[in-house]
Amino acid sequence: MRSSVAGLVATIALTLAACTSPAPEADRWQPVDLPGAGRVVTLTGADDGLLVGRYDDSAQERASLTVVRPDGSSRPVAMDTRWEWAGREAELLSVSERQGEVVAVGGHRAGAHGNVRWTVWSGDLDEVVEQPQRFEVFGGWDAGGLTGTALSQAGPVILGSWAARSRQGLDVAVWTRDGDRWARPTRPGTPLAATATRQPSPGAVTDLPGGGLLAVGWVTVLGDRIRDEAVLWTAAEPAGPWREVSLPSTGAGTQRPMAVDCAADHCVVAGSSDEDVVLWRVALTDDGLAPARPRTVLPDAVHSPAPTIRTAAGAVDTVAHSEPARGEQPRTTRVVRVEAGAEELPATQLPGRLAAMATDPRGAVVVATTTADRTRTWRRAP
């Protein structure tokens, strides 16, 4: 992916604006058929096309990857699965691609305690090979879960959480790869660590266009007034050192960035602010970080402590959020396109739960939604 981090190359530009009520523009989101069996669980923009991850619970090996080229043709990515108790039954959580290299993370909940057995594949757009790890690498008593993966010029990283050495909660954790082995590098005093007064939580991670990594999340500040503050963390290399930068406050008690994506000249961070869906636009410059305010894109939309939010950066940024089912009304996904300077932000409502979103090589945004019986995919031209 995209820009330079020298010192951390990012500037946040923003405006605070309200939205209008959703407008019917579903005709602009065209339904498309993506090849493969099972439901779509991941979408990843790649140089060669769109990398589609699926989960088919009727197959012997349930995870699959397919490259869909811009002309509509497709080919499968061979998945060499080596761990019967994880890889064969895993559902993909996150798939990253950079210049033909691919890293995928998936998991399967099993065992007497119902813990997730995580596994990872590495390879390219022709084949990915599972790299079985000891259970304790990603799981065990101290595990807090995995959030996603990213590929930078310096190598891949997996983002998640792990019990703090201080035993004061969970640290934000990163895993780096050395050959076929994955491990957590330790750096004392890192801003990813939990303390008696702050608890960091990971939201998402991506690579920056010219090198380096950008992770987003929040810090729960413990005191007389407990609150969640939005932050981002940056590093030139997967092992760090990582630097923490506070995102401009919305004034809410709960601010939780959960998605991030980068284009050539900026990144977009999306998350929740109390019951609103908001975004921060981070311009990539050589001048460092300049604070700015977040923009509300979907007011009064968040009715869950763990909402599903995705974003795609481009000439027009896109944010999607799953609405929970209410009464007899089925679950839906609301999608907002955020044009620079636009005051009104109409939302499109698509049927089903939000599963994935990505930008294809031609700049079109593709959204996958899932209902009880099927996956649907939608495409919006740039």
d(CA 287, CA 239): 24
Distant-in-sequence, close-in-space partners of 85: CB < 8 Å, separation ≥ 6: 108, 110, 117
Task: State pTM to two decimals.
Answer: 0.90
Per-residue pLDDT of the chain (382 residues; tens, 9 = 90+): 444 333 333 333 333 233 333 444 444 899 999 999 999 999 999 988 999 999 999 999 999 999 999 998 999 999 999 877 778 899 999 999 999 999 999 998 876 566 789 999 999 999 999 999 998 999 888 989 999 999 999 999 999 999 998 888 999 999 999 999 999 987 756 899 999 999 999 999 999 988 899 999 999 999 888 999 999 999 999 988 999 999 998 888 999 999 999 998 899 999 999 999 999 999 887 765 554 678 999 998 998 888 999 999 999 999 999 977 676 677 899 999 998 888 889 999 999 999 999 999 999 999 999 987 789 999 999 8
- Backbone phi, psi, residue 88, to 5°: -70, -25
**For the structural domain made of 11-380, what CATH number should be given?**
2.130.10.150
Domain boundaries, the chain: 11-380
Q: Which of 248, 161, 165 is nearest to 205 (CA)?
A: 161
Token pair, residue 141, equals 């008593």
Q: Helices (DSSP H) in the chain: which residue ranges?
A: 135-138
